[in-house]
Structure 1
Amino acid sequence: MFSVAGKVAWIDLSNKTVILESTESYKNFIGGRGVGSYLVFKEVPERAHPLSPENIITFNTGPLTGTLSPSSGRINISTKNVATQGISFANAGGYFGPEMKYAGFDHLIIQGKAEKPVYLFIHDNIIDIKSAENIWGKDVWETEELIKEELSDEKIRVAAIGQAGENLVTMACIMFDRSRASGWGGCGAVMGSKNLKAVVVRGKGYLELYNPESFMDYNSRIWERILNTDTIRLFHEYGNLGTSGAGGIFGNLAQSVRNMEDEIWEAEKTLKMREIIFKEKYEERKLADFCCPINCSRFYHIKEGKFSGHKLEALKTNVYRAFGTNIDLSSREYILLANEMADRYGMNCDSLSAVVAWAIDVYQRGLIDEEITGGLDLQWGDGDLQLKLFDIIAFRRGFGDILAQGVCRASQKIGRGTEKYAMHVKGHGICEQGIRSHKGWALGIMTSPIGGGHLAGAPNTEQRRLSPELGMHYFGVPTAGEPTVYEGKGKLVAWFDKYKAIADIAGVCLFATYWMDISFIGPNDFAELISDATGEKINGKDLLELGEKVVNIEKAFNTLHAGFTRKDDRPPYKLTEIPISSGEFAGERLLPDKWEKMLDEYYDSHNWDIKTGLQTHECLENIGLHDIKNRIEKVGKLPSQEVNCCKKVTNQ
């Protein structure tokens, strides 16, 4: 086999056993998220709680992971979602994914529960289960340093949980290389429930490509295409924060403000957050992941003031949004410290912000008081309060024990009308920008199988203001670049559902794909690279069909495990009732009647049942998911819809 390590490891922590099989067994799903979602569907019983030993968690690389393809350093994590009870897939960058392949493994499937805390050390085609009792209770950064010291190797790559994962906090994530988060679905809590503190890899092997000359020739042309775009020049100059944070390059980009009450932050606060100020005051160097042309990150050093001496990786836009605008905090240093604390404890910034902002919001509305908060006075823009809340959430102390359940369950537990202000999708907290004005973006977030987030079907074409001609040429949707237009967005999101699945299957960051710029990697490019790398001939149409199949596997899991239907694809109250206050999109909100029509178009584009949002008998049969069709049919959640059966996927 080419471009793969060739081995899959089944690791049973209860029995301390490792069973190996060939990667060939999963070639129908190629790799990455495709293999991960298939395994979770196949192996996790419907009755299994996400934090039970019966749940599995998978680490999956793709065929391009660890090659010289642009941004090919990705690793996929799949499991049952702690927040939603449905599917979870999350993706992280850094260097862990390539190192895992070089160590001899394409996929890890971890099940059971260790009697005492352990970590996995994967090296030289060997998997050691080692004691982690001496590092249990340590944060992510401390854990990495202690393991490097124990193994006497500074070159290892570490995926670890912090105290949030140990304490089964719903928004706990897995941190790779200290600051790369596999953030969604509570995957850190799943690791914690298994007494698994870390997965450590050290690779000294190499990958063999099927046709290295052809691969390198085509790959060099893609690199040249990417490096000659305005998009890449903006990223090199301004980083992730500069292009999308604090109003963006042109100062008009929306953010989430005060628990997503609005999307325009006051100018005097926004001005403090400009990337140029971070660059002048804190930046020491630029950072990039494995084989990445984007260079979207930076390394910061606070050199003066209360937090002098702190060094950390720079803010991503969603972190700035989560720990800044969404709680109305305009202190740069406090936002940086919140970022560091979340990384150390191992907590997802979006869902963490959702529950913190909700708590402040309902406190300010008089729906909860200090008797509930444990004496805490919850005020907007209080940096010390945010750090305090992070601490009591990670350790589940007092009021923090309620918040640690996530915004949906916390609001249900407290009641008192607070549920109305809980910003979540399918039970998973969200913190997003541009969601009222950009209709396709909003639809992709609400229909995401993992419970919100913009990394499933949400398109970026509206932000890029793609021309009608280009929208039609690439996606068959002339309105793809018109933010406030509802028409065509269902079709657009359905296309990006399957296309973004391809990137996750291949092991490539979305920033290097059509999602970011139509000059970047498209379906046919992925097909050429994968064919040359693996020797398995495939085309863009084949990949889109595989993407559609994976999306349907994930939806089927949600139907069986979480019971999601059309009602679960609708936006929270604030987004339909409270319009944007000012700016270019003043007055915009998500209109319920137009939303329903957009949903109709979305379901029709996937060939699902419009009335219920469920899959149909004909749909699953026509894309070859016969076993999955039979499982759903047994529980009576498979409507027959002859006139809306699956059509062949076209490569637009």
Structure 2
Amino acid sequence: MLTVDVGERTATETDIVDVLERTVGGRATATALAHDRIPFDADPFGPENRAYLSTGPLQQSQMSFTGRMNMTGLSPLTDGLVSSNAGGYLSRNFVSTGYSVLEVAGASDELLAVHVTDSGVEFEDVPELEGATVPETSAYLERERDLGAEHCIAIGPAGENLVRFASVMTFDSRAFGRGGLGAVLGSKNVKCVTFDGDVASPLEIPNPPEMDIHREAAQSDDLMRRQGTTGNTEFINENFSLPTRYFREYEFEGAAEIGGNAVEAKKYKKGACSACAYACKLPTRDEETGVETEGPEFETVYAFGAMQGVDEIVDVMRANELCDTLGMDTISAGVTVAAYLASEDAFGDAELAQELTEKIAYRDGIGDTLAEGVARCHDDLDVPDYTVKGLEFAAHDGRTLHGQGLSYAVANRGADHLYASMLSLEYAGALDPQGTLDKADALVARENNSAFQDSGIVCVFGSDYVTDDRLEALFDADQEELMAVGARTVERERHFNNRRGFDRDDDALPYDLPDLEDAIGEYYETRGWSDDGVVPSDAVESVSSGANADD
């Protein structure tokens, strides 16, 4: 691990082999370190908060579905630990520096760029980048350092202005999106971090099935390869629910105009992540207006389309590009703007929505209020608080997918669809969407699996290819061992949040579901937690020195 204290401008290396042996990498490793080293009473915007950028062993391979990284820290949006996952081309450049984890600590008095190489760390004051967009920052690094966007993480104006749902961006369009980690870097006055090196991978995976996975990914005819996650927009809208006009309606009449076919019609080339033959990204362009972006994916179609009553795909593309450029999570930004539109009865006004999005990034006027997120501004807007633990809802509607609703309620990072992805079981009919009881075992298994996938690290879209038996071969371990890594990660997150005051009262939804309280009790019992949703004090071991290591 490389610890960079940007206040002291020091760089320290720590051997964490023993930590990696127990946690594998990615989210599990970062969560274990964060649990021990971020004080339980830390201010998310204080210098005592830390941000962890981490990779996993599969990033040292050339296997499809592995071009990803994890980022973890104390969220200014939820006030608990949050981990976010991003693709692109950063992971191999990060690995080439010889590190598994970057830990960013302290706070700088000046706006700072940090340059990490295999031979040292350089701190550069960058006052000229104050207020720069993400592409402007990338252009500066290309010009001054000869390093492209695939070598860096960066924040936009939203991060600098401590927007609580600011993202950390890489490759200009890939986001560590949920939870506001961009604002954490902003509070530390870190504009960007670059990675460049030439350290050869020391890892050899015995008998890897990576070539089979690579070939199958390249030959796949999955709809996702053409339309990304938007391919199921109309199916979800017609058969389940596409939350519309700030949750007032369950179905959007304009879904076809912003769904998979509409996005595919604007796609002008293939896009991928590092070493991945699946190529499911969506470089899109509208020839008439000149709008060009990567996406939108389904969650953005939901947040800036259906939720706002906007049915023109170019408007959604424009909003997607604006969020990437300014550095904001499209889900939280779109839902928060939708809450404002609800307060003004202004649904369908795409021009106003984009104006508000820009105001949020600069905390200009009403944007200053909206930059706090729905949980903190809903009273001012006189609209319902559609969040869990302060995190705005993803598209997959727990009001019709009751297992997903249960997942939202108990998830440590709030209303995030990928924390357990119960939705995939319910959409497919493998689990009855109705009812919350008797779903705890499936939910715990899905949470553990997601936590391990984020530790390997394996893309969630590779689940049909990187199967359980292949994971066992790749990691030379049985499924029970791998899922135990995931379970310990979920427990560490919960324990950290418990020490910050989280308990059963925080595992709640803004709408009623049948037998929800009993289902939450079943979940706690399956996890071995107390009736109050608290992890037993002796259940979590420390893996590292730090503020909480002996607490």
Higher relative contact order (CA 8 A, sep 6+): 2
Choose from 204, 226, 233 the match for 1:245. 233
Aligned mates of 2:27, 2:125 — CA distance in 1: 29
Deviation at 1:603, TM superposition (A): 1.3
Q: Distance in 2 between matches of 1:461 and 1:276?
A: 21
**What are the superposed Cα offsets for residues 253-307 of structure 1, whole Å, 9 maximum, x if unpaired?**
53121112222112xx123224323333x22112111122432222112211xxx
CA contact (8 A) 1:432 1:453 kept: no
| Alpha-carbon shift at residue 228 of structure 1 (Å) | 7.0
Per the alignment, residue 608 of structure 1 pairs with: 529
Q: CA RMSD in A?
A: 2.4
For 2:528, the aligned partner's letter is N
CA contact (8 A) 1:523 1:543 kept: no
Count of paired positions: 548
Which residue in 2 is equivalent to 1:273? 258
Pair 142,626 (structure 1): closer, same or farther in 2 beyond 3 Å? closer
Q: What letter is aligned with 1:100? A: F
C-alpha distance in structure 1 between counterparts of 2:18 and 2:126, whole Å: 32
Quote the offset at 1:35 in angstroms.
1.2
Distance 1:349 1:42 in 2: 31
* Runs of 4+ with >4 A deviation: 223-229, 623-628, 631-634
SS in 2 for 1:292: coil
Which residue does 2:225 correspond to in 1?
236
Secondary structure at 1:120's aligned position in 2? Answer: strand
Residue identity matched to 1:40: A
1:19 paired with 2:12, answer: yes
Q: Distance in 2 between matches of 1:35 and 1:481?
A: 32
Task: Give yes or no for the alignment of 1:210 onto 2:204.
Answer: yes
Give secondary structure in 2 for the equivalent of 1:487: coil
Equivalent residues of 2:401, 2:434 under 8 A apart: yes
- The answer to whether residue 431 in structure 2 is matched with residue 511 in structure 1 is no
Output the CA distance in 1 between the equivalents of 2:544 and 2:11.
28
Provide the secondary structure at the position in 2 that maps to 1:233: coil
Matches within 5 A, 1:451-600: 451-466=414-429, 480-513=430-463, 519-531=464-476, 538-561=477-500, 563-573=501-511, 576=512, 590-591=513-514, 594-600=515-521
Q: Is 2:169 aligned against 1:175?
A: yes
Partner Cα separation in structure 2 for residue 21 and residue 275 of structure 1: 46
Amino acid in the other structure paired with 1:221: D
1: CA distance, partners of 2:145 / 2:415: 39
TM-aligned CA deviation for residue 546 of structure 1: 1.5
Give the equivalent residue in structure 2 for 1:641.
Answer: none
Q: Could you say which structure has the larger radius of gyration?
A: 1
Q: Is the 8 A contact 2:19 2:544 kept in 1?
A: no
Deviations 1:194-251 (A, max 9, x none): 1100111224333133345x12xx223344566677xx52222333222x32445x95
Quote the Cα distance in structure 2 between the aligned partners of 1:190 and 1:22: 25
CA pair 572-155 structure 1, distance change in 2 beyond 3 A: closer
CA distance in 2, matches of 1:554, 1:403: 27
The answer as to whether partners of 1:65 and 1:72 remain within 8 angstroms in 2 is: yes
From the superposition, tell whether residues 228 and 505 of structure 1 become closer, same or farther in structure 2 (CA, over 3 Å): same
* Counterparts of 2:218 and 2:144, CA distance in 1: 41
Give distance in 2, aligned partners of 1:158 and 1:235.
Answer: 27
Amino acid of the structure 1 residue aligned with 2:449: Y
CA contact (8 A) 2:400 2:433 kept: yes
- 1:151 aligns with 145
Q: Which residue of 1 aligns with 2:390?
A: 427
**Residue type at the aligned position of 2:242:** Q
Amino acid at match of 1:612: D
- Deviation of residue 500 (structure 1)? 0.6
Give unpaired runs (5+ residues) of structure 2: none
**Cα distance, 1:126 vs. partner?**
2.4
Aligned partners of 1:161 and 1:188 also within 8 Å: yes
- In the TM superposition, what is the alpha-carbon distance from 1:408 to its structure 2 partner? 0.7
Tell me the equivalent position of 1:369: none
How far the C-alpha of 1:400 sits from its partner, in A, is 1.1
Residues 49-198 of structure 1 aligned to structure 2 (within 5 Å) = 49-154=43-148, 156-198=150-192
Q: Distance in 1 between matches of 2:103 and 2:129?
A: 23
